[in-house]
């Protein structure tokens, strides 16, 4: 007879971990990483912790608060140094770190992208606003006007999340198939309607997320640098 599985984060046999917000959220994140967002409920989380679900409401008022807490926990893994004078190197590093963070927690990415849409900016969890505040500080210190820094942030994160979602959606139909056209399922597309997409099969099959990210960041940063240092244009007018 197989012994029952112990809950995630379970203490040594005979002991019971003392509940804390950190333990509750870290266990919630493990559950989401393993089984997806739909698996995260107070009842299921209570089972994982070996506790009555009612005891969890002291640390998260409801499921929405749990989701917010998971978002904060993941974003806390993202290190940003707003005092770094090399703003371009900092933005490039943040981009790669965020990509790796998304690859570690792919089930949380939809939460990071879509959940803020349902909450006014000032009512969002403080931990989810930290990257915005720190990147604004980085850009303003680099010479961008405050309003322009906000535009840059929006373009930057729009590009990053778009890239991350695209990379996570890369789908291999048959990993054992050597022919790229067949492996990606592109052979199903009508030749006359999708000649360019079918022709790109070898490139699509050789997708390198880190390299693709660098290419996009190169384009974005070169444009921002040109606008910031354009002849005769003060920083505050550069992005107008």
Q: Could you report the per-residue pLDDT of 119-136, keeping only the tens digit for each?
A: 777 778 888 899 999 999
CATH of the domain at 7: 1.10.10.60
Report yes or no on 135 lying in a domain: yes
Residues 82 and 124 in one domain: yes
Report yes or no on 72 lying in a domain: no
Residue 125: predicted pLDDT = 85
**Total count of domains within the chain:** 2
How far lies 200's CA from each of 181, 195, 213, 214, 224, in Å? 9, 9, 19, 20, 30
Poorest-pLDDT segment among 22-31, 104-113, 116-125: 116-125
Report yes or no on 202 lying in a domain: no
Q: Could you report the per-residue pLDDT of 134-162, keeping only the tens digit for each?
A: 999 999 999 999 999 999 999 999 999 99
Residues 40 and 109 in one domain: no
CA distance 121 to 126: 10
What does pTM read for this prediction?
0.74
Residues 53 and 83 in one domain: no
Residues 129 and 84 in one domain: yes
Report yes or no on 186 lying in a domain: no
DSSP assigned state of 2: P
Average pLDDT over residues 191-208: 73
Q: Could you report the per-residue pLDDT of 91-107, keeping only the tens digit for each?
A: 999 999 999 999 999 99
DSSP, collapsed to helix, strand or coil, labels residue 33 as helix
Report yes or no on 192 lying in a domain: no
Report yes or no on 151 lying in a domain: yes
Query: Domain range holding 86?
Result: 77-170+207-237
How far lies 233's CA from each of 86, 220, 225, 237, 240, in Å? 21, 19, 12, 6, 10
Residues 35 and 104 in one domain: no
Residues 130 and 25 in one domain: no
Residues 134 and 211 in one domain: yes
* Strand (E) or helix (H) holding 126: helix 126-142
Average pLDDT over residues 59-65: 93
Phi then psi for residue 5, to 5 deg, are -70, 140
Report yes or no on 219 lying in a domain: yes
Q: Could you report the per-residue pLDDT of 205-215, keeping only the tens digit for each?
A: 666 778 888 88
Residues 83 and 18 in one domain: no
Phi then psi for residue 119, to 5 deg, are -130, 125
Residues 10 and 122 in one domain: no
Residues 114 and 15 in one domain: no
Residues 83 and 144 in one domain: yes
Higher pLDDT, 4 or 208: 208
* Strand (E) or helix (H) holding 213: helix 209-228
Beta strand ranges found along 43-172 (DSSP E):
none
CATH of the domain at 86: 1.10.357.10
Report yes or no on 199 lying in a domain: no
Residues 38 and 147 in one domain: no
Residue 196: predicted pLDDT = 77
Token pair recorded at residue 106 = 């792919």
Among 14, 30, 60, give the residue marking a domain's end.
60
Query: What is the rounded average pLDDT for all residues in the chain?
Result: 82
Which range, 28-32, 171-175, 233-237, has the best average confidence (pLDDT)? 28-32
DSSP assigned state of 19: P
């Amino acid at each position: 007879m197989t012994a029952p599985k112990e809950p995630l984060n379970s203490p040594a046999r005979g002991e019971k971990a003392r509940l804390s917000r950190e333990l509750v959220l870290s266990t919630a994140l493990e559950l989401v990483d393993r089984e997806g967002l739909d698996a995260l409920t107070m009842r299921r989380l209570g089972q994982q912790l070996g506790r009555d679900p009612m005891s969890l409401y002291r640390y998260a008022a409801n499921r929405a608060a749990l989701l917010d807490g998971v978002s904060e926990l993941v974003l806390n893994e993202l290190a940003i140094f707003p005092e770094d004078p090399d703003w371009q190197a900092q933005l490039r590093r943040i981009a790669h770190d965020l990509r790796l963070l998304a690859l570690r927690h792919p089930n949380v990415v939809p939460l990071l992208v879509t959940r803020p849409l349902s909450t006014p900016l000032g009512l969002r969890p403080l931990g989810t606003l930290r990257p915005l505040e720190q990147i604004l500080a980085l850009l303003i210190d680099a010479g961008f006007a405050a309003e322009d820094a906000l535009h840059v942030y929006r373009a930057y994160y729009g590009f990053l999340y778009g890239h991350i979602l695209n990379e996570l959606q890369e789908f291999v139909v048959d990993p054992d198939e050597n022919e790229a056209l067949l492996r990606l399922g592109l052979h199903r597309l009508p030749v006359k309607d999708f000649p360019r997409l079918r022709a790109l099969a070898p490139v699509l099959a050789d997708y390198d997320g880190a390299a693709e990210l660098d290419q996009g960041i190169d384009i974005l940063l070169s444009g921002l640098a040109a606008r910031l240092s354009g002849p005769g244009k003060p920083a505050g007018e550069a992005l107008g």
